Amino acid sequence: MPHPPLVSKLPDVGTSIFSVMTQLAQESGAINLAQGFPDYDPPQPLLEALARHVLTPGHQQYAPMPGLPRLREAIAAKTARLYGYSPDPGTEITVTSGATEALYAVLAAVVRPGDEVLILEPAYDLYAPAVRLQGGVPVYVPLLLPDFRPDWDQVAAALSSRTRLLLLNSPHNPTGATLTAADLDTLAGLLRDSPTLLLSDEVYEHMVFDGQPHRSVVGHAELRERAFVLSSFGKTYHATGWKVGYCVAPPALTAELRRVHQFVTFSVSTPTQHALADVLPDTNLYDSLPGFYQHKRDLFRELLAPTRFRLLPVQGGYFQVADFRDIAPELDDETFARRLTQETGVAVVPISAFYHNRQDHRLVRFCFAKQDATLRTAAERLQQL
């Protein structure tokens, strides 16, 4: 019997470009600067804590649905220390399976069919498909080259009575742009009398450079009243494979998020949460990250200086965007990225992958969250171009 037809809900969506380029990197033996993950391990105390808790009787069963209380308390203390606001661990913090699950659960909780969701482009590739799966309508506002700043007038023009949610991402993937205190004030003014909620993806919160502080929406008294703010322990502790993140949001928003979270994953790995709760009070582990990543940014830029790549500014995150027009003006960014992977041996991601209409600015993204030796070897290859 023929099986019943399945009509795709996302017919235009293929395998994510990160998986495609990673596979191409593996097949061609290229250095993978495409996908955003480090090639070094999490801090030793975190690894030891996980080993300890895996061996602790009683730490192997389901954790409470919103997250272990001791981890949520540690998150509250960290948030208070960094952003001057102490969320209630009972009603305002939810531990999720990576920021990915938090993003999906927030969108599922908030977006109804026909609702508009504002996305600043280029944007992380999960946002638009997750909005569309809820029947929402993504409305795209371009970030302005070369430093990918939001144009708040364009944001204001795109806001309508149907705008359910605005998605922010700072530090930004793929561009490394960061929002300023003035940006947040401007946004607060735009949203003041509207019912629009905010989803602030801050997974790179500990990677902000040149002495600048990270401007979290949690630290903005007005905006946090309407915001879901996300972070990722995978990014903070070089443990992207652990898939643990969290969401801070006011009680009414958290309640809705949890209604979805409880049916998506119910809860997050128990020993992993214990291990994170052990190390989170060690402030040095995350206070050292801006310096650690600024060194990598500066090293990578220095190594690429003799090449014909034009490097765009990077204020945060762990990606470097580069213009390749002086190397191969005739190629679109995807073809260039494939050739760079297969012929030069360095895998990158084309920036068109972050635009819904595949807009091509002749830019590619390098991930510099790699050992210095990896960056040097990659640069030697890139210097041949």
User: Interface with ligand PLP by CB under 6 A: which residues?
Assistant: 36, 98-100, 124, 169, 173, 201, 203, 232, 234, 240, 243, 245
The CB-of-244 to ligand PLP minimum distance in angstroms stands at 7
The CB-of-125 to ligand PLP minimum distance in angstroms stands at 9
CB-wise, 265 or 341, nearer to ligand PLP? 265
The CB-of-306 to ligand PLP minimum distance in angstroms stands at 29
CB-wise, 203 or 340, nearer to ligand PLP? 203
Residue with tokens 């635009």, as numbered in its chain: 355
Nearest residue relative to ligand PLP (C-beta): 98
The CB-of-22 to ligand PLP minimum distance in angstroms stands at 12
The CB-of-46 to ligand PLP minimum distance in angstroms stands at 15
- Tokens at 220, concatenated: 């903005």
**With the C-alpha atoms ordered 274, 93, 44, 40, is the resulting torsion angle positive or negative?**
positive
CA–CA distance, 292 with 301 (Å, rounded to integer): 15
Cβ(303)–Cβ(73) under 8 Å? no
Residue 208: name the closest of 139, 291, 133 by CA: 291
Neighbour-count burial for 166-184, b at 16+ CB within 10 Å, e otherwise: bbbbbbbbbbbbbbeeebb
CB-wise, 136 or 316, nearer to ligand PLP? 316
Q: Measured between alpha carbons, how far apart are the two ends of the chain, in Å?
A: 56
CB-wise, 15 or 61, nearer to ligand PLP? 15
CB-wise, 99 or 106, nearer to ligand PLP? 99
DSSP string, 128-194: HHHHHHTT-EEEEEEPBTTTTB--HHHHHHH--TTEEEEEEESS-TTT-----HHHHHHHHHHHTTS
CA–CA distance, 320 with 377 (Å, rounded to integer): 16
Q: Classify 121 as helix, strand or coil.
A: strand
CB-wise, 55 or 292, nearer to ligand PLP? 292
The CB-of-263 to ligand PLP minimum distance in angstroms stands at 18
CB-wise, 99 or 227, nearer to ligand PLP? 99
